Amino acid sequence: MSGKPFDQPRLAINRVYTRMGDRGDTRLAGGQRVPKDGLRISAYGTVDELNAFLGAARATVAELSALQPRLAPLAAVLLRVQHELFNLGSILAALPEDAHPRQARVTEAEVARLETEMDGMNEELAPLRSFVLPGGSRLNAELHICRTVCRRAERACVALARAEPAPPEAVRYLNRLGDALFVWSRWASQAAGAPETLWEPNESASGQEAAQK
């Protein structure tokens, strides 16, 4: 892959429905028909779900950036990740023997970029004294939703890899992306001036009752 671009998509979407999946199966990139609840379909389907949630978060960043320009760079990062997730879905949708050398995929370059961006943003953040509860702002909550869906996609890829050959870069990329989404949620709150809500165990009903005794 070094120095060579990925192939462009080779498809033409003329009709949205085909009726081919009405019996509960679908077609992989290599033409094989498989059940829609199979491990491979679950893996790239969850990656697709994550992409949709990232699109919602990116739209929120675009809305907020007019008043809070510091947030603007995050929109470009999220858009790049959406492209990367489509690349990941492309390689997950093909059996290893059907993948082409220049087929879109995630590589160590994508993992390294996430690490670099995380390190840079994390340096701007105060150390945590507790876990963060999602919801300090709408964008914070959306990025946490992305994080949890990303972890589910990661688990789906782990399950796939245990049952049949799967690209090892998939799990590494999703693992790192889950970490990045946590950092981005904190960074976005700071950039927008939104407070973080930290986990307080004694804010529970039993904790409040104990404090009143």
Most confident range, picked from 91-95, 137-141, 165-169: 137-141
Find, among 103, 58, 108, the residue nearest to 81 by Cα: 58
Give the range with max mean pLDDT: 7-11, 96-100, 108-112, 162-166: 108-112
Whole-number pLDDT of residue 211: 84
pLDDT band per the 50, 70, 90 thresholds, residue 15: low
Average pLDDT on 178-185 reads 97
CA separation for the pair 50, 57 (Å, rounded): 11
Position 66 pLDDT exceeds 70:
yes
Tokens of 177: 């992306």
> Domain 25-195: what homologous superfamily?
Cobalamin adenosyltransferase-like (1.20.1200.10)
Nearest to 53 by CA among 155, 148, 179: 148
Its pTM stands at: 0.87
Average pLDDT value for residue range 129-133: 92
Q: What is the pLDDT of residues 28-57, one digit of tens each?
A: 555 567 667 789 899 999 999 999 999 999
Say what the pLDDT of residue 25 is.
74
Can you tell me the mean pLDDT for 149-161? 97
Q: Is 25 helix (H, G, I), strand (E, B) or coil?
A: strand
Q: Are strands 33-35 and 25-27 parallel, antiparallel or unpaired?
A: antiparallel
- Spatial distance between the Cα atoms of 74 and 55, rounded to a whole number of angstroms: 12
Domain ranges of the chain: 25-195
